[in-house]
């Protein structure tokens, strides 16, 4: 279940981005902070239901969290991961 709240469900910790991810954000006019807020608020994007359930459990058990978002007209994927 995607929780989708404006209240952060977990701390982001150290945040880094690859040059490819930054280029995709720039090319599609997407603000990275918006995606990080969605990720932190439980909107996992287009991950499969099994990964969404693992993400929901990870909020309390501290395991990894992965989100994926389609950006731009070409629907390119940007992945965000959080590790314990």
Q: Domain coordinates of the chain in residue numbers?
A: 19-82
Residue 82 has pLDDT above 80, yes or no: no
- Residue 7 carries which DSSP code? S
What is the distance between the alpha carbons of residues 26 and 67, in angstroms, rounded to a whole number? 19
- pTM (global) more than 0.85: yes
Q: What is the pLDDT of residue 84?
A: 62
For residue 1, pLDDT beyond 70 = no
Mean of per-residue pLDDT scores for the chain: 91
**How far apart are alpha carbons 58 and 83 in whole angstroms?**
10
The answer, yes or no, to whether residue 38 has pLDDT greater than 70, is yes
Look up residue 49 and give its two tokens.
């239901």
């Amino acid at each position: 279940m995607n929780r989708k709240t404006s209240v952060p469900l977990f701390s982001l910790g150290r945040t880094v981005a690859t040059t490819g991810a930054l280029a995709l954000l720039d090319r599609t006019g997407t603000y990275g902070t918006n995606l990080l807020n969605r990720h932190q608020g439980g909107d996992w994007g287009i991950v499969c239901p099994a990964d969404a359930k693992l993400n929901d459990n990870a909020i309390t058990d501290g395991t990894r969290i992965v989100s994926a978002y389609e950006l731009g007209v070409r629907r390119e994927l940007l992945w965000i991961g959080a590790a314990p």
